Chains A and B, each alone.
Chain A
């Protein structure tokens, strides 16, 4: 089912959490609301769910105006970061909750709960209490509970945020597969660009209560609308006064036209990657990422002079310092490392 958010504004006291936000979500898509924390992602998701009301604007779910509908009438499933398990009910009863509310026949409820327990790989755990499950299992239970009532829309607020890295990765892949199976329109909130790029069909970048850009992961990565989006989605560096991705820079051992000369300041090898910092007179050093093979072919060592130029088809933007401040945590020049691991493998 489609979701349309039109001109939604939400304030808390004098603070504007959402400022005239409009987003259209395609039926059957898996959409990420991505942005720095405090940007208003959860507020937007909660407004879609009816857990919060917009000051102005319209929310349409499946073509019908839902702006004033209470949450229980919206047909949405909501999954919270901290699971919101009902601790006094068994896992099966948790999952059955929505069906029992709807007074479905006992047989039907049991069959559906069994089916969902299988779907989320918790067949063995139906009789346990939530306190006896691990975090990842609890979140799968919460997902099954939300799916039980066959919501037209599934909303997840940082669903994997409370889990450790390994489980988070597993659940992320699993959510992607689940969505391919179940096809329910899904919106999830994350502040992790890797998660959004890997899992989502569509990403809405939100910052300071505004939508910065909407598009597919590839579109956002390759054609960022502004320097904020570019630096939030992955590492960036500056070359010749322009913002560019470190792997979009070619390093040459000989001088060519339009290339910028520099001196290798630092080389760091991580796995198959070589992260090279090149000092260029006057400007901050340029961060470049090469493959190991490329570095070998180049043969450059610290202190050598090299020439830098943009690779063909590289995305660049004019440097806009204001937007860069406080954006991607690892986007600072020379600090490329951490974010590269994730950003180097966007989903195909």
Chain B
């Protein structure tokens, strides 16, 4: 039973959210359709824009997959095991949130640069370019979104404790079955939220990608970089249209989670 807060408080909260979130975001959508549907359609017919959207989808897809798999693994390690260096690892996990994306981009460029990077040179020798190429974009995007899944799961893992897992083990389940049938269902909401946040963050990444991609139009330009480019070139409808597409992905993802959640809550109560 949610108690009704005082009216004044509600007004403040709503005004705050509208001014900071809802209004600016809605302006992106209205801006996109300022001159009707035609310019929007034209924008999404542009092969360069389509390419950028595809690249963003690829980078975000990899970031979600990698961060989900490793995120679950790292979270399990951090919560369920004790080992020397655990605290250090936990602190490291937060680093991508604390460091500016531009710094992340530069760091990746230093390590993977084809000319002088520690790893970049040997990789270039076997024919794999990381910087100014898709792998670098995937790497930067994954790095930036790395803590999100982990940070969503850790508190859930801590809260459910180990007894259910131990019960499953004593009932004959091996480690993998226990994970799949007990641990995973227990953390599913945290995981879903983490994945959604990760997706939204990956789709929207700008700074780190800008550094590592070289912003080669039609090749390494992601959707966010395209938005900037269109905006700078005074193609406002185009910029708003792509921006609206990016915003839609996040809004739809969050809406789906909200709906799913409401449905399961209704079913179990």
A interface residues, Cβ below 8 angstroms from B: 49-51, 70-72, 74, 76-78, 80, 82, 84-88, 97-98, 101-102, 129, 131, 142, 145-146, 148-149
Contact = CB atoms under 8 A, between A and B. Distances in A.
A71 B170 contact: yes
A214 B185 CA distance: 43
B169 interface: yes
A97 B163 contact: no
A253 B186 CA distance: 69
Interface stretch (B129-137, B138-146, B172-180): B172-180
A76 B167 CA distance: 10
Interface residues of B, number: 17
Shortest beta-carbon contacts, A-B, top 10: A98-B171, A84-B163, A78-B170, A84-B167, A71-B169, A88-B185, A101-B172, A72-B172, A71-B170, A80-B163
B182 interface: yes
A131 B166 CA distance: 19
Secondary structure dominating the interface of B: helix
A97 B167 CA distance: 10
Nearest to B170: A78
Contacts of A76: 170
B245 interface: no
Contacts of B186: 87-88
Nearest to B166: A51
B103 to A, nearest CB: 40
A82 B173 CA distance: 20
B166 A71 contact: yes
A102 B171 CA distance: 9
Given A71-B169, A97-B173, A101-B172, 20 more contacts: A50-B169, A51-B166, A72-B169, A72-B171, A72-B173, A72-B174, A80-B166, A80-B167, A82-B163, A84-B163, A84-B167, A85-B164, A86-B168, A88-B186, A101-B177, A129-B268, A131-B268, A145-B171, A149-B171, A149-B172
Contact of A86 (B169, B177, B182, B268): B182
A85 B163 CA distance: 9
Contacts of A72: 169-174
20 contacts: A70-B169, A71-B170, A72-B169, A72-B172, A82-B163, A84-B163, A84-B166, A86-B167, A86-B182, A88-B185, A88-B186, A97-B168, A97-B173, A98-B171, A98-B172, A101-B173, A101-B177, A145-B167, A146-B171, A149-B171
B166 A78 contact: yes
A72 B169 CA distance: 5
A183 to B, nearest CB: 20
